[in-house]
């Protein structure tokens, strides 16, 4: 399970970040681009696509172009992000926008053919239940594709803060193998997981911390210290981070990018019964 965090605090942070998010979210957009490339190897003609944690809608717009006959739904829990996403596409073809929490999907069972979630699942407070709900919403044979971050993400910043105090200052992340177990537990079929290591570099640690705040991904841990962090402690964190400075004179920031996908099961166990989708039976005639 992820460490407890303040979902409302995270939502408000992303809401404040909406107007400037695209300028700073270089990594998130690059991960989304690589996810979209993975769809090149999938034979899928979805009627309805769901972009979970759509943010400002960069990937939503790409999904609109990729699947011109599909209805594309953009979902985010921060309304100002959706205000940006709803402008994507063209006048006669824009995404349908849904302000909702990924932990409580307000969608009918077997209603979505492709669920796309780029850098969003780390904001789930109950990922195992969320995966089960995704399995409920996904049509049999539909595809769930996601990216998120593993526990080695921001390990330099976490170590720098640990040298200063014992308070949580960096978001907690879940191991790739645990995500794989959750996919299986949710009843999703043929799960595939892999991890990609990415490193960004900065001139100083303050630049990194400012950027994390700009995109709304700051510390939302329930155990975080309330109130402002003093300049003296920030200076000590920056000093502690210096031990990671590389030969090129830059400070590295590590990201463990977890990729996963799985398919909607054609058979499900419900209250001790095996239930088979009518669409599957029809396809076998």
CA–centroid distance for 158 within its chain: 20
User: What's the predicted TM-score (pTM) here?
Assistant: 0.88
* 3-state DSSP assignment of residue 244: helix
Q: What are phi and psi of 90, to 5 degrees?
A: -115, 170
Closest C-alpha to 123, from 32, 7, 39:
7
Q: What is the pLDDT of residue 263?
A: 97
Strands 189-202 and 251-263: antiparallel
pLDDT in tens, 33-48: 999 999 999 999 999 9
Residue 96 near residue 75, CB atoms below 8 Å: no
Q: What is the pLDDT of residue 3?
A: 60
Q: What is the pLDDT of residue 88?
A: 95
3-state helix, strand, coil in the chain (%, to 5): 40, 25, 35
Tokens encoding 129: 């239940």
pLDDT in tens, 61-93: 999 999 999 999 999 999 999 999 999 998 889
Q: 2: pLDDT confidence band, cut at 50, 70 and 90?
A: low
DSSP bridge partners of 1: none
Asked whether the predicted pLDDT for residue 280 surpasses 50, the reply is no
Closest C-alpha to 56, from 81, 37, 36:
81
Residue 156 near residue 241, CB atoms below 8 Å: yes
pLDDT in tens, 9-19: 889 999 999 99
Over pLDDT 90: what percentage of the chain? 74
Q: What is the pLDDT of residue 230?
A: 66
Asked whether the predicted pLDDT for residue 21 surpasses 90, the reply is yes
Kindly state the average pLDDT of the residues 193-208. 95
Element (H, E) at 161: helix 155-162
Q: 116: pLDDT confidence band, cut at 50, 70 and 90?
A: very high
pLDDT in tens, 220-279: 555 545 444 668 888 999 999 999 999 999 999 999 999 999 999 876 554 544 344 445
User: From residue 130, how far is each of 105, 111, 121, 136 by CA, in Å?
Assistant: 8, 16, 9, 10
Tokens encoding 181: 């177990």
Q: 284: pLDDT confidence band, cut at 50, 70 and 90?
A: very low
Q: What is the pLDDT of residue 278?
A: 44
Q: What number does CATH give the domain 7-151+173-198+255-283?
A: 3.40.50.150
Inter-axis angle of helices 58-66 and 26-38, to 10 degrees? 20
């Amino acid at each position: 399970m992820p460490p407890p965090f303040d979902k409302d605090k995270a939502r408000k942070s992303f809401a404040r970040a909406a107007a400037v998010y695209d300028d700073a979210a270089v990594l998130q957009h690059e991960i989304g681009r690589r996810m979209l490339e993975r769809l090149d190897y999938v034979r899928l003609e979805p009627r309805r696509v769901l972009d979970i944690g759509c943010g400002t809608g960069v990937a939503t717009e790409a999904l609109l172009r990729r699947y011109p006959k599909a209805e594309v739904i953009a979902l985010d829990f921060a309304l100002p992000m959706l205000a940006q996403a709803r402008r994507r596409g063209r006048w006669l073809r824009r995404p349908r926008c849904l302000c909702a929490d990924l932990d409580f999907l307000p969608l009918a069972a077997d209603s979505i053919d492709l669920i796309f979630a780029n850098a969003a699942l780390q904001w789930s407070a109950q990922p195992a239940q969320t995966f089960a709900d995704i399995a409920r919403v996904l049509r049999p044979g539909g595809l769930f594709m996601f990216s998120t971050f593993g526990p080695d993400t921001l390990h330099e910043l976490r170590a720098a803060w640990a040298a200063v105090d014992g308070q949580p200052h960096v978001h907690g992340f879940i191991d790739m193998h645990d995500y794989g177990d959750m996919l299986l537990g949710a009843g999703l079929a043929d799960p595939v997981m892999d991890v990609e290591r990415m490193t960004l570099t900065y001139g100083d640690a303050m630049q990194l911390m400012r950027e994390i705040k700009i995109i709304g991904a700051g510390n939302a841990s329930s155990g975080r210290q309330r109130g402002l962090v003093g300049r003296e402690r920030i200076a000590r964190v920056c000093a502690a981070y210096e031990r990671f400075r590389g030969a090129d004179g830059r400070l590295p920031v590590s990201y463990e990018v977890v990729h996963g996908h799985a398919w909607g099961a054609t058979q499900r166990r419900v209250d001790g019964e095996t239930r088979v989708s009518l669409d599957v039976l029809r396809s076998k005639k």
